[in-house]
Each structure stands twice: as C-alpha cells, then as structure tokens.
A and B are shown apart, each in its own frame.
Chain A
Amino acid sequence: MAEQPVIELLELTKSFSSGAFVQNRSFALGPVSITVNSGEVVGILGESGSGKSTVANVIMRLTGFDEGSYHFRGADVRAFTKADSFAFKSKVQIIFQDPYGSLNPRATVGASIREALILHKRHLSRAQMDARVRELLAEVGLGSEDPGRYPHEFSGGQRQRIAIARALAVEPEVLVCDEPLSSLDVSIQAQVLELFKSLIEHRNLTMVFISHDLNVSRLLCDRVYVMHKGKVVEKGIAQEVLTNPQHDYTRQLLEAVY
C-alpha cells in the first residue's frame, strides 16, 4: 500500500508577473498538493482560469514553480541532472487540446512518430521503427497507408489519434491529457473516449486528465481534483465527488453543466 506515487506535488505555488494590460486577475496557483499513483486516472477539473492547465504544464516541466516541491517517482525534479531531464521526457507525455496545432504540418505522420522513436528508442533499427509506427497507428485505429500521409489529410478526430500514437511511441509511464476531447464533435468525442478507455485497460496507463467536462471525467477518472481560482477545492473518488459533491463550488458547477 505504501507504494510510491508517480507524481507528487506538495504545497506547490506558482505566480505570474502580471503585465501592464492585465488587471483584476489572480494569477497565482496554489498552494496545491496533488498525488498521482501508478495505474490511476486522475482528473484535474475546473473552469477556464482555474489553474488546471498550469498544473499540466508544471507536471510536464514546461513551466517552473515557486514554492513547494514536485517529486517524480520519489526524485525531486529540481535536482534533476541533464540526463534525468532527458529520461523524464520519455516517461511523461502530453496530448493537447488542439490536434491541429500539435503536429508538424510539413512532416508525414510516420515521420512525426519516428522522430520520437529516434530520440528515445535509439536501439531500434529502421525497419523495426517502421513496424513500430504501423503498430502504434493500428492501436489507435488508423490504417497501414497512413504513415505516408500528412496531418492536413486527416480529420480532427484522426489527428487526435495520431497525437495519442505519437505520445505512446516512447512508452511513457504517465500520459497527461489537456482537454483532449473538447475540440471534437460529439460523435468523434465518443470514439476517442472509447480509445482512451481501451488504452487504460490494455496499457495500464497512468493518466492525468485535465478537463472542464465533468460528465466525461466522471466516466473516465478514478480520482478527481476540482480546482477553483488556483486552489483545489475538493478531491476524492470521481464517482463520489461528481455525484455527491461536498463543496459548494463543485455543487454549483455540477448544477450548471448540461
């Protein structure tokens, strides 16, 4: 039971220097404490401006933080060496909201995925890499001719599948998903939701699911943190928090969503 969490944020804070044009907005995160255990799907929920994407960026180490600590598998990320940082990048992968902006438009889909393999799976031969690319695309439901095509030839849902395949290429321990469904149409959203469901089952993925969609989160997450104005206002088992919330904010949010 005392297994070490994969991600542990403790009393973490982050403030932004507000520019001359920004007024009346709280730009501080935290202090927040968030733990993600191995094999768990953890939802970070909130409205826009709640700080949930900042949490994603801190976890990805795309942005730094001020106070508190961030441990990845027990190791303080602030003490990471260059080699640690490089290894970290293959252990934690992210999928962004916008599948149009997250793929290089001038690279074929196969080349985009192979790039990740070349960086992090150098021991593979070229033929092995090609086979791996096809396997990954098949896993997310794409065809065998697709590696040679360019991102613009795909629809939004397919591009999001490609982004998922690319993230999985390096066999990450943690997949951070920042609003991965919200730019998709409902019929496509349900398809990608099913894909996530099967990935969670088959790959035993640890997932951080950043979302404002409480209904999707209730279906997908084991545990959730509800954020408001940079702080966690409620946390717990997804099913319990999102059906019988204890905090006023969560209750109001649940009443507001359709």
Chain B
Amino acid sequence: MMTAPAPEMTTETDPAMTPLLDLSDVTIALRQNDRKMVTGVSLSVMPREVFGIVGESGSGKTLFTRTVFGLHEDTYLAGGTVRFNGRALPLNGYRRAIKKMLGKEIGYIPQDPYSSLNPSMRVGRQLTEALYLSKGYPMRSQKAQDAAVALLAEVGIPEPELAFRQYPDQFSGGMRQRIVIAIALSQDPELMIADEPTTALDAFTQRRIMDLILERSRTRGLAVLLISHNLELLRQSVDRLGVLYGGQLLNVAATADIGAREIHPYTQALFDCVPGRDKRLADIASIPGEPVGAGFGTTGCAFAGRCAFAQDICRSAPLVTNTDRGTGFSACVLGKGARHG
C-alpha cells in the first residue's frame, strides 16, 4: 500500500538523517540460562535528538540500557544489530566493542552520584584522568588542568578552581552529579546516556540537573538517551519516547502526542496514572493488576493482561516490532496509536 516515500524522507547518505544510534531487533538474554529478557527492540536515536525510555520497575529498561552499553556482566546481546553512526557492531565480542566507545563517542551518567565518583581521589584528578584517557592530555599538565576547570565551570560548579582540589564528599548530591556530567562531557561524546540521572535527588536539584543536561545537549549538539521511570519528567524533557513493558518495546511516540493524540494503550494508561500538574482526582485512572516483569517473550502483547481493549488476538499474535524505525511506532495489534497506518 505504501507509495513513494514522503518528501522529508531523504536518502541514507544525508548525515542529518543517519541515526546516531540504531538498534534493530535487539534481544537481550541472561548468561545464566539464556532466558530472553528484552525482545525485539528496534529504535533509532537521531543526531542531536533527546530520546527517552520509560518503563516501570522490572520493565527491562535498566537491563536494556546496561547491556546495550556494555555495563552488565550477567546479560548479553542475543540477537539483532546495533549500529553507531552507521557502523554495525559485531554480535560476537559486542561488549568489548561497545566498551571501547564508552568514554569516547558515548558518555554515561549513572543514577547514583554518591557511588559513581571515587571518594579517595580529588575531583580534579578524576577529571584529568578522564581527559588523559579520552584525549591523551598528560594528567599533570596545565592543559589538562585548564580543561578540567573549564568543564567544572561549564556544568555550573561555583569556584571551579577550588572544586578541582576538593574531594567528592565535600559536595552535595546535585553538585556531585554535575561533576559526573563534567567527566562525561570531558570526552566530547556524540551520545550521552543518562540512566535515571536525577532519581536520587530532591525536586529542586532534579529540575536543575535536567536543565543542565538539556542545555548542554543543545549547546554542544549532543544526542541524549534518557532512561527514567518518571513519565512526566520525560514528557517535559525529551523529543521522542520509547516505552518498555515486560521487555517489549510497545510504543515510540513524540512526546507532543502524549495526551493529545491516540498513542499505544499502555502509554496512555501510564499517562492517566500520573498525577500531573493540571489533573483532577477524577482524571486519574489506575491500571488494574500488577506489572509483568521483563522476559515476557514475543508471543502476544505483554500488556494484554491489563489492557482495557485487549482481545484474544492480543494474547496470541506475535510481537509487532518497529522494523522501519520511523518517527513513531505502536506495537498494538489492534492498531491503536499507529500513526503510519
């Protein structure tokens, strides 16, 4: 039925249209028993795009992120292709290959600012070490020190020269997270992974750190992959959103569509649960039942058991995957939220 591609769909050679990160049918399994936890995830993050991944606890979002970026030892990439800047990474020795890119093309901001810095090393040295590893600046050189101080200033640390000589425990959680961001930026990455970067922080600090990440992304032309359980935070921060549930990618939606257009029933149900700023008590509708964990498999929709629209076909049809990786995608077999139908 599809006719000629729409005019805005340009050829692969257009650098603006080559996805920075392109995942095709990615399946993640446990090393222990080869159980497939995350199945058939296809999505792409464009250059300069801020892309979010949302999921409840157990949905597989952390497993997914940590495996794709080589940070998880108990899981492996069991199938699919990961491309970075158009280059496919080998499935064999995937972890080694992606780890080489981590700290260079890919920066990573972990969740807990309290455990991600070395408590016995001065902040300055942690930065100059990162600069040595990514850019080869000699660690004690003036060049490395100047670059480190400039980075601390860039992430909004007051008195960066002083901070350079201090230890992590002399900083609050928010300030530590800024230092972690400075370290991630020191490598001039093209893609920044932020895995629940503000969950450990209070509301004010959360907002400031999110603002910092988004502002740095705009200024540096940096793509960001933001993982969170907080739908409202993502809705206000990212351009597009991938929704994971039971280890399945159920929806990729432009955040502007959430609450405005038909989206996948799970994303809609999740949005209806969130006590947002403009909602009344009557607007809040809970989802019956309990969330299913990652590893639901590829037969049927993981959300069918809780979905208000579910029919028999939802439980038996094979999982719909996002093969063409267009801007939007819905895995709903009933066609709900499918914009390209």
A residues at B contact (CB < 8 Å):
47-48, 155, 157-158, 185-191, 193-194, 197, 212-213, 215-216, 218-220, 252-253, 255-258
Contacts and interface: CB of A to CB of B under 8 A. Distances in A.
B86 interface: no
19 contacts: A47-B202, A187-B56, A187-B286, A188-B290, A190-B272, A190-B273, A190-B284, A193-B286, A197-B281, A215-B276, A215-B277, A215-B279, A216-B275, A218-B275, A219-B279, A220-B281, A255-B207, A257-B203, A258-B236
B238 to A, nearest CB: 12
A212 B275 CA distance: 13
A161 to B, nearest CB: 12
A186 B274 contact: yes
Contacts of B276: 215
Interface residues of B toward A: which range?
A: 20 to 34
A194 B277 CA distance: 18
B229 interface: yes
B232 to A, nearest CB: 4
Question: Chain A at the B interface: mostly helix, strand, loop or mixed?
Answer: helix
In order of increasing CB-CB distance, the 9 nearest A-B pairs are A190-B286, A190-B273, A215-B275, A191-B286, A256-B207, A187-B287, A185-B56, A258-B233, A258-B232
Interface string B165-184: 00000000000000000000
Given A190-B285, A190-B286, A185 B57 contact: yes
B160 interface: no
Contacts of B272: 190
Contacts of A215: 275-277, 279
A255 B203 CA distance: 9
Contacts of A188: 286, 290-291
Contact of B206 (A185, A252, A256): A256
B270 to A, nearest CB: 6
A14 to B, nearest CB: 22
Interface in B45-104: 56-57
Interface in B186-221: 202-204, 206-207
Contacts of A212: 202-203
Interface in B247-291: 269-270, 272-277, 279-281, 284-288, 290-291
Contacts of B204: 47, 252-253, 256
A257 B207 CA distance: 7
